[in-house]
């Protein structure tokens, strides 16, 4: 059982290059057969869906329910997918296999349905061709339910539908299946939906839904025409780690080899990682999330997933403290960090150049109460005059921590600026200019009398080899 998704390239030539001519021909024949089957099924999902929903899906509320026909609009377009699939189902296994896939999804019937194709890197045991699938989704305006039909290149047949709907941003769909000759109840769940992220998971039950075992996760990340992931960083974390003496390079190497792509695959954006030039035992990094609910699910996906389980002991052995974390949001929509260039590949020559300054202003109250205006009118112009290239301004995100397993500095009110410099010498000239700038010194002194708790803390941060944020 599974759910189908798409190729990740819009042009047929790109698909042919990946799959080979013979596979493409078989794949096209499969799609033609499925399209013919789908056309015949267009009038049937209401009846089939009603039978399945009656047996397995929770009863719908008798009150007002949103129409629902646009609930899957978020899925249209091109995606990259990280699959985490339990190797042995309903056997108490904790061993997961991880593989990639790509997907292209397009609407049908004026929005009452959609279809996708799912091209994976996974091979069924004993089969040379990689696994390809598709899902046909159809919405019933009468029942306000979706029926989801899955098919794969192993048999070319549409399976019985999964039926359900979305409620408060989470889609739940139920149906029947079979595992090793035994009947099971099957549940699909869609969550973590944002402009550029989504999470699908499949679970089986052998006891009429009393208990469920999740056996497959698909973490969706939207990509552009060049295959680069798209990000929406409505919330970021500024993380400062105190490390054991002499262990910083060990953590940098481990982080850049094992932790960047798996975090991004489950819904985060690893913005940049840095060596603190003024503390040999401090590692600083930033990651972004679309919003706080996406943050909670992405963090749970990574820290509850197989990659962290495999490497956490090695990572934790380098650390003394990892709880110095500020949760931030852009001061204004135009004050967020701009999209950076492509991240260097693993093993690329160390081309990290430049320096990033993080200026942290600790405040008596929220920056919106007055300090933000003071910063923009009095402090920021002096930073620019001294030679800083301001690339982002952030303030405290006041929402409760949605992932308590990782503490953040709740209750702290800050404004943080980020500035970029060509090299250490350029930053030295900037510091000298600030020191000699009477207007800067006066503005800081006035701020200390009106909301600023201490002079701004300025971190000098050198990008690591694979840091996306760099010159």
pLDDT tens digits, 165-224: 999 999 999 999 999 889 999 999 999 999 999 999 999 999 999 999 999 999 999 999
245 exposure class (CB count in 10 Å sphere: 0-12, 13-18, 19+): exposed
- In sign, the C-alpha dihedral spanning 38, 42, 48, 54 is positive
> DSSP string spanning 325-366?
EEEEEESSGGGSPPP--PPPPTT-------EEEEEEEEESS-
Residues 232 and 249: their CA atoms lie apart, in Å, by: 30
Contact 371, 451 (CB under 8 A): yes
Tens digit of pLDDT per residue, the chain (471 long)? 443 333 333 333 333 333 444 444 444 444 444 544 444 444 333 333 333 333 333 333 334 446 899 999 999 999 999 999 999 999 999 999 999 999 999 999 998 999 999 999 998 888 889 999 999 999 999 999 999 999 999 888 999 999 999 999 999 999 999 998 899 999 999 999 999 999 999 999 999 999 999 999 999 999 998 889 999 999 999 999 999 999 999 999 999 999 999 999 999 999 999 999 999 999 999 999 999 999 999 999 999 999 999 999 999 999 999 999 999 999 999 999 998 888 998 877 666 679 999 999 999 999 999 999 999 999 999 999 999 999 999 999 999 999 999 999 999 999 999 999 999 999 999 999 999 999 999 999 999 999 999 999 999 999 999 999 987
Please state the pTM of the whole predicted model: 0.84
Distances (CA, A) of 335 to 161, 338, 390, 468: 46, 8, 9, 18
Residue whose C-alpha is closest to residue 106's, from 180, 194, 6? 6
Please list the alpha-helical segments (H only) found in 20-116: 21-41, 45-56
305 exposure class (CB count in 10 Å sphere: 0-12, 13-18, 19+): buried
Burial 29-66 (b: 16+ CB within 10 A, else e): ebbeebeeebeebeeebeebbbebbeebbeeeeeeeee
Residues 340 and 264: their CA atoms lie apart, in Å, by: 15
């Amino acid at each position: 059982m599974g759910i189908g998704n798409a190729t990740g390239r819009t042009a047929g030539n790109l698909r042919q290059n990946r799959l080979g001519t013979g596979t493409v021909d078989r794949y096209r024949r499969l799609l033609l057969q499925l399209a013919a089957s789908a056309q015949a099924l267009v009038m049937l999902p209401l009846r089939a869906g009603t039978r399945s929903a009656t047996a397995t899906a929770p009863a719908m509320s008798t009150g007002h329910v949103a129409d629902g026909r646009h609930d899957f609009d978020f899925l249209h377009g091109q995606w990259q997918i990280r699959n985490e699939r339990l190797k042995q189902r309903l056997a108490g296994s904790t061993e997961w296999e991880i593989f990639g896939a790509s997907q292209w999804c397009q609407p049908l019937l004026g929005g009452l349905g959609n279809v996708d194709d799912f091209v994976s890197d996974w091979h069924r045991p004993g089969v040379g061709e990689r696994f390809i699938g598709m899902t046909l989704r159809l919405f019933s305006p009468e029942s306000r339910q979706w029926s989801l039909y899955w098919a794969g290149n192993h048999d070319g047949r549409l399976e019985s539908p999964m039926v359900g709907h979305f409620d408060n941003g989470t889609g739940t769909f139920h149906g029947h299946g079979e595992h090793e000759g035994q009947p099971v109840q099957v549940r699909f769940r869609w969550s973590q939906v944002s402009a550029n992220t989504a999470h699908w998971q499949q679970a089986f039950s052998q006891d009429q839904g009393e208990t469920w075992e999740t056996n497959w996760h698909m973490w969706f990340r939207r990509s552009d025409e060049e295959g680069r992931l798209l990000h929406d960083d409505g919330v970021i974390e500024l993380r400062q780690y105190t490390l054991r003496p002499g262990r910083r390079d060990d953590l940098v190497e481990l982080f850049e080899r094992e932790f960047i792509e798996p975090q991004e695959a489950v819904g985060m954006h690893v913005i940049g990682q840095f060596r603190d030039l003024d503390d040999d035992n401090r590692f600083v990094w930033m990651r972004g999330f679309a919003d706080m609910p996406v943050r909670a699910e992405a963090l749970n996906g990574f820290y509850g997933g197989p990659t962290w389980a495999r490497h956490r002991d090695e990572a934790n052995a380098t650390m003394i403290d990892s709880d110095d974390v500020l949760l931030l949001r852009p001061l204004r929509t135009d004050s967020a960090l701009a999209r950076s260039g492509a991240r260097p590949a693993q093993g690329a020559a160390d081309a990290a150049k430049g320096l990033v300054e993080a200026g942290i202003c600790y405040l008596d109250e929220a920056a919106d109460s007055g300090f933000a205006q003071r910063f923009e009118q009095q402090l920021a112009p002096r930073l620019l005059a001294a030679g800083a290239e301001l690339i982002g301004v952030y303030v405290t995100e006041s929402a409760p921590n949605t992932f308590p397993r990782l503490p953040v500095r709740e209750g702290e009110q800050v404004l943080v600026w980020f500035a970029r410099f060509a090299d250490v010498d350029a930053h030295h000239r900037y510091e000298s200019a600030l020191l000699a700038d009477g207007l800067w010194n006066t503005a800081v002194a006035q701020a200390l009398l009106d909301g600023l708790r201490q002079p701004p803390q300025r971190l000098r941060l050198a990008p690591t080899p694979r840091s996306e944020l760099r010159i």
